Chains A and B, each alone.
Chain A
Amino acid sequence: MSDPLFPATPALSRRFRLQYEEAQQSHVLLYPEGMVKLNGSAAEILKCCDGKTPVDQIISDLETKFRATGLRPDIESLLTHAYQHKWIE
């Protein structure tokens, strides 16, 4: 079996800090001497990565919150990217 593309219950890595930056007008991930600027949907997804909520629940929570359907592919693709970059564990 191949490695999963992302954890079933993702948690933001303790190596990154997620916060809103007024000057950037966006959420950012902070790490030693660096910063990743996040777009709105990436920030919403990462905010849900609390280490307790399973991915299915994250998807349905966000679909409820934004009154949308069919968000799964976008969310899974962001989580894959986040896992590759060790933002989540």
Chain B
Amino acid sequence: MLPTHAPTPGTPAISPPFWLLAELTYQCPLHCAFCYNPLNYDAVRNELTTGEWVRVMREARALGAVQLGFSGGEPLNRDDLEELVLEARRLGFYSNLITSGVGLNEKRIAALKNAGLDHIQLSFQDSTRELNDFLSSTKTFDLKLKVAKLIKQYDYPMVMNCVLHRHNLPHVDKIIEMALALGAEYLELANTQYYGWAMKNRAQLMPTLEQVREAERVVEAYREKIGDACKLLFVVPDYYEDRPKACMNGWGSVFLGVAPDGVALPCHNARDLPGLNLPNVRDMALADIWRTSQGFNAYRGNDWMQEPCRSCDEKGRDLGGCRCQAFMLAGDAAATDPVCSKSPKRGEVDKVIRFVSQAGIGLDKAQPIEQPMVFRTNANSRTLNIS
């Protein structure tokens, strides 16, 4: 059951959004099998104009947002990126470019620096050319190395990001070595979580518990060895936790996403949740979207929770976990996140884990079995059965 009302008087005041994620476009030169964009992204065509994005940024800044992510798709696909960065700097945002690196030549990186871009996060898919290019279904590895050098040359702080899964988890040491060699200040080693395209490819991507624990040991050993030369962030797949994460730090708490067509998102994957009336920035002021819209209030605070969350003494810590996982695995977006060992649906998660541990691991063994990897392409986006 979905609450449809704004918070009642007496509930704590709504905090300002901290993070505006501007998904400038769903178009992307990469075809990653774990992309978090919606499966039907190719149907989204009416992208916000430069002027509309400027208005969104102004309204978000007035609400108190301070961190701004330019993302996508590939944000460099928009030729007004420099203009948007300039406005972001003028407004006092700290701006982050989240990119595959494709399209980032020296001319653009210099122009972005002049416009006031603060930081670049560059994604890799693996430490090897072979696997990087296979997983993104492109030939981009050498280009990414070149871009990493440009980022350093232009004195940006560099966050490297590598999404982890069964195929590259055994390379985690080499991925760290690569980040050190390229001079990254932070390395995000985030295991795939299973939504969108990654859910389609779950049987192909999900690692075993042993792989995850081994990678954790490797990361810990590196942390001791390298000190704070590069900060290593390691995120375990939710399925291997027995308590859920505080997803988005709480619904409508810090995160405000805006999709290429102007749909405002309380979480990256909110479009896949049923019963949400997601407002569009073209129709509603951002302040109303954040404070009073049904979409942003549906899971705000604790009132929406069911048992076992409602009476749980840990609900303040994990806020009931991830709504998308609750919907996909328990069939109810307001249920307890099934990764929680207190969830009556935890068995659904364990079933997946059992399947993975029996299916065998490693690229060689995994390739011929099950179904082939479904890459994120325009054609697949149009033909996949979207439920």
The residues of A with any CB-CB pair to B shorter than 8 Å are 14-15, 17, 19, 21-24, 28, 30-35, 86
Contact = CB atoms under 8 A, between A and B. Distances in A.
Interface of B: 16, 18-19, 63-64, 66-67, 69, 92, 94, 96, 118-119, 121, 155, 157, 159, 185-186, 228
A35 B66 contact: yes
A31 B96 CA distance: 10
B67 A21 contact: no
B160 to A, nearest CB: 11
B66 A32 contact: no
Contact of A86 (B16, B92, B228): B228
Given A28-B66, A30-B94, A33-B96, A15 B157 contact: yes
A32 B63 contact: no
A30 to B, nearest CB: 4
A83 to B, nearest CB: 12
A85 B313 CA distance: 34
Contact of A35 (B18, B63, B185): B18
B19 to A, nearest CB: 8
A17 B96 CA distance: 13
Contacts of B67: 30, 33-35
Nearest to A30: B94
A21 B157 contact: no
Nearest to B155: A14
A21 B61 CA distance: 10
Nearest to B69: A33
A16 B67 CA distance: 13
Contact of A21 (B66, B96, B118, B185): B66
B248 to A, nearest CB: 14
A82 B211 CA distance: 37
Contacts of A86: 228
A23 B121 contact: no
B118 A30 contact: yes
A17 B63 contact: no
Contacts of B185: 15, 32
A21 B94 CA distance: 12
19 contacts: A14-B155, A15-B157, A17-B94, A19-B92, A22-B64, A23-B63, A28-B66, A30-B67, A30-B94, A32-B96, A32-B119, A32-B121, A32-B157, A32-B185, A33-B67, A33-B69, A33-B119, A35-B67, A86-B228
